[in-house]
Structure formats: C-alpha cells, structure tokens
Chain A
Amino acid sequence: MNTINIENLYPAYFDSDDVTGSDLWNTDRTFEKGRTYLIKAASGHGKSSFCNFLFGTRSDYFGKICFDGTDVRTLGVSEWRNLRRKSLGLMFQDLELFPELTVYENIAIKNRITGYFSPERVSGMLALLGLKDKSERQAATLSLGERQRTAFIRALAQPLDFLLMDEPVSHLDADNAEKMSEILAQERSERDFGVIVTSLGNQLPMDYDELINL
C-alpha cells in the first residue's frame, strides 16, 4: 500500500460545527508511504477515532477512506486481516496488552504470526528501551510507561507500509520518548514506511513532514 486517501471524512457522531476549521475532517487528503504526519488536537477531537477508521476497527464515519484507490468499506474481514499482518500497524492508545503474558510474550504473540523479528532483535529493542530486565515480568505488573514501550515494539513486529501511533508517548519521559524515536527512525530507514502519529501535546520527538491540526 502506497497511499491512504481520505475524502470528506468525519465521524458520524460529529455535528457540522465540530468539523469546521479542522485540517483533517471533511477535507480531501492523501497520506503517502515513507512520510511522517503528526495529528495534533485536544481531547475529544477524534484522534483515536481517526486511527480506528484507518485501521478498520470502526466504520461509523461519513466520507470515504481509500487504500491505493480502493474504498475500505469494500474490504472483507480476511482482507483486513491480511492488511493488519502485512501492511498496516497500530499502536493502540489503550495499548491492548495481555496482562497475564510477560513483556516478551506480548511481543511474541504478534511476532509468531508475522515471523518478522528474530528473538535477538526483540531482545535488542527491549534493551534499548530499558525493558531487558523486565522481559519476563507480567504486563499487569508494569508501569504505564513500560507498557507503552512494550506495545511500541509489538507494533513494529510486522511488515509495514503505514504505522499508526495513537498518543504513543503520553506516559513516557523525554529520555524514553527519544529512545523510541531513535528506534523508529532506524526501522523507517530500513523499511521506509509512513507514520501517522496523534498527539495531545506531548509528542513523539521526530521531524514530521506534515503537521495536521484537528
């Protein structure tokens, strides 16, 4: 997938007043593979809804979303499944880790169906993000920041054309946010995927190609 197009897109639960003045809602816009986008807005402006619309986990919107020209409303569950395995990743705002699994297992449960990372690569990332000594701890016992870093590695454990990151550093200190940014830059240099990041204010430090205010 090389492009994501949106045409007059806005959430079905919005009034017409809610979309006035937005750089994203009710506009036509194209997201390109290889580029980085930051979507900034205060709470309640639909950042997570936008990520879920693109990820296919919500469809309560007006307008149109196209992947390489194909309206996503025409995609079936198996096509979405394929996209989520091979093309489109999402780092969930609520992280969606399995509390009974360890840090390593939470990453492995994604990696085992994509086979993308070697165990050594996962260990290296965990070490970079300061989670090496916690890799065998259950996710339920981690802090929010630690969970966020775990979810970040899991989101990378697949082939990617676009990575959606829904408030990825909301619970991270500047140091860890910087490390996350370094890993992301290295992965992008190897794979050249597009990144769409949403932020409430505390943003992932990165040179963005476009800044979009919701």
Chain B
Amino acid sequence: MGLLWKIIRKHLRFGQLAGYFLSSIVGVSILLFGICFYSDVSPLLVGNSSLAEGDYVVLTKTVTPLRSLKAGRGNTFSDEEIRKLEAQGFADEIGKFRASDFSIYAEVSVGGMVMSTDMFFESVPDSFVDAPQEDWDSTPEDGNVPVIIPRNYLDLYNFAFAPAQGLPQLSEELVKSVDIVFRISGRQSGKFTGRIVGLSNRINTILVPDDFLAYANETYGYGREMQPLRLILKTDNAGEAGFVSFMNENGYMVSEGKDATGRVALFLKAALAIMAGIGLLISVISLVILVLGTYLVVEKNRTFHAILFKLGYSPWALSCPYVIVVSVVNFLVAAASTAVVGIARNIYSDRLDAFFMDMPLRDFSAMYPAAFAAFVVMAALASLLIYRRIASIENQDIRM
C-alpha cells in the first residue's frame, strides 16, 4: 500500500478533497437535520390530537325558521342524502353522528365541590376517533364509559368561566383523572361512571363510544327517530370547487371541525421532505464531484496503473489507496455532519421546550445509524465507481 500510495499521491489534490469535504458536510448535515428534526417533532404530529392522516370536516344543515319548528330533529340527513353524498366521491369515509335519545345529568366532584349540569352524548364510528383504542373500549355492563370532550370546553372553562367565578383552573391531566357521574333517565334510569380519555380538536361534541351509545339508546332511549343531524367526512378535497359548490347547492354547512394540526403536520412533513431532498441533492452532487475528481487522478496515473497491471496487480489492489482516501473523507464528512446536527439540535430543542413543555426528545444516539448509513452509502458508491474505472483501464490498456 505504501508504495502504491507513493506513486498515486502526487496527483492527488488536497484542495479538491477539502472542497468536497466542505460541500458534503453542507449536504449531509441538511439531510441528517431533516431526519433528526422530523424524528423529534413527530411525537407532536401523532397521538391523541393527530390528524396527520387526512382532513376531517363535519357537515350540518343550515338551521332555517321552518326547520326550527321541528323540535330539534328537522335537520337530519336522510339515507338518500347520505347516498347522494357518497356518490360524489368527495369523501374517503363518511360517518354518521349518533345522538343520545335520553336525558343526561352529569356530576363532577373536585376538591369537595360538586358541579353538575344537564348534558348530552354523541358518538361517531370508532375509525373517526383519535383516542388510543384501549382507552376507548367500553363495557356498559360495568357502568363505565370513556368520554372525549372538545378541547375548547376546557379552554372556555380555564380562560373565561373559572377566572370570572373565582374557580381554580384545571390542567388536562387533572381533568382526565376526575370521575364524572352520569345519571341517565329515559324509559328507565341508570348511572354510569365516566372518565375523560381525551380532548379533541376534531369533533366539537361530547363523544362516547358508538357501541355504548347504541346500547344506551336501546336500553334507556325513548325510541324516537334517530336519523343523524351531523355527518363527519374524511376527505382530502374539502378545498376543491366541486366540493364547495355541492355543499352550497344542498344547503349544507361545513364546519371547521377539522383541526389545524393535520395541515400543519402536512406542511411540516412536506417542508422537511423538501429539505431532506435538497440535502440529498447537494450530497449527490458533492459525491459526483469527488468521483470525477478521483477519475481525473486515476487518469493522470493511467500509465502507472498500466505498468502495475503488467506486473500482475489486480484492479482491486490498485483501487485500494483511492478507496481508503474516499472512505476516510466520507467518514470525516459523516462525523462532522453529525456534530453540526447535534449543535443545531441543541439550539432548536431549547425553542421546542419553550413551546411544548416536557416534550421528550429522542436520544441523539438514534442519529448515529443514519450518519453511519450516509457514510457507508457514499463511500461504497464512490469506491464502486472508482473500482469500475480502474478495471476498465486493465481491459482497455492491457488487452489491445
């Protein structure tokens, strides 16, 4: 190796290697930063408030004076209307809201103080609910029921009602730990213990599991007509002209029931993908420059390579010094890029902490496999191309 190195080194340009080193650090750092940032913020994009999978809208009918006369049930969606909606092809999935057909009285005891109110239940098919499945299973026979309330109910209480009434503000964790007693009265009476399992940005109602409400309506309900008053649609087409005009023609109101997280997540993902793509592009261009630079050195050493082939050297043996150089340079690139991303992460993690208190950041060592993979891919690709180039010299120059 030492002798081969002595022969080829005079044509190596260290300025060229330094240029590759710096440009590659930029490319690989951007690429790794995109991966690192995505893995850090992804917990914010999934979980209880996730809507990353698509947009949801809630449809209601416009309340008119004539419909008002029908005692709360004048705005229902008929089966025919739902079929017509399905036929438009706007929605990936349509869910009917089921309303409670009985009276509900809720009591909450917080710190010895009992609060109570009349209320209602609604349910949608489980696939529209963004709570973990294990929290959402209900067993009515045991008298327990999980509940999801709109997040803005808690906001209204904390930031409007509580200060005005001199009441303490409630954290999300505290709300979830409190048991609620639901007294149900219809054809017969019943009592359930409820627990808030989630706060939803998606659906602006008090949600219970669909199975539970079906059971409760059958057991306690008055047996009234239960056509849905609201529909929930999973759709990616809510902004399209056809969708908007269909809703207007039919007098349907599209609520902004969808949460903003979905769009933010989508934009964030797109931005990170573009960022990673730019990083990848810069890395690839840098690698091309490195390989072309090495080709030039190989070409300048062509006569020497031809002699070495005549002495019995293999292309692999002649490639070795070049492979070692590109591997060392790429290893340094990967190491330096990891350090750059580590520094950048320290900066942004402080900012994230300010916005999302106690957000658990992933262990940074999770980045090492990505950096190592970048090193292996770049070094292997460059080595393969250099080997092929040198092997072609053996074929061209030694066998005329």
Contacts and interface: CB of A to CB of B under 8 A. Distances in A.
Nearest to B10: A100
Contacts of B394: 77
Interface in B375-400: 394-395, 398-400
B307 interface: yes
Interface residues of A, number: 28
B312 A113 contact: yes
B317 A113 contact: yes
Contact of A56 (B4, B7, B399): B399
Given A59-B400, A114-B312, A158-B312, A98 B7 contact: yes
Nearest to B303: A96
Contacts of A77: 394-395, 398-399
B311 A113 contact: yes
Interface centre among A58, A59, A81, A158 (most CB of B within 10 A): A81
A18 interface: no
Nearest to A112: B3
Interface string B172-186: 000000000000000
B306 to A, nearest CB: 9
Given A56-B399, A58-B400, A59-B399, A101 B310 contact: no
Interface string A149-188: 0000010001000000000000000000000000000000
Contacts of B309: 81
A137 to B, nearest CB: 15
Interface residues of B, number: 20
A31 B308 CA distance: 27
A82 B310 CA distance: 11
B304 A98 contact: yes
Interface string B1-32: 00110110010000000000000000000000
B68 interface: no
A84 interface: yes
Given A59-B400, A101-B6, 9 more contacts: A80-B398, A82-B312, A90-B310, A92-B310, A98-B304, A109-B3, A112-B3, A113-B313, A154-B311
19 contacts: A55-B310, A56-B398, A57-B398, A77-B395, A80-B398, A81-B309, A81-B314, A84-B311, A96-B307, A98-B7, A105-B6, A108-B3, A109-B3, A110-B311, A113-B311, A113-B313, A113-B317, A114-B312, A158-B312
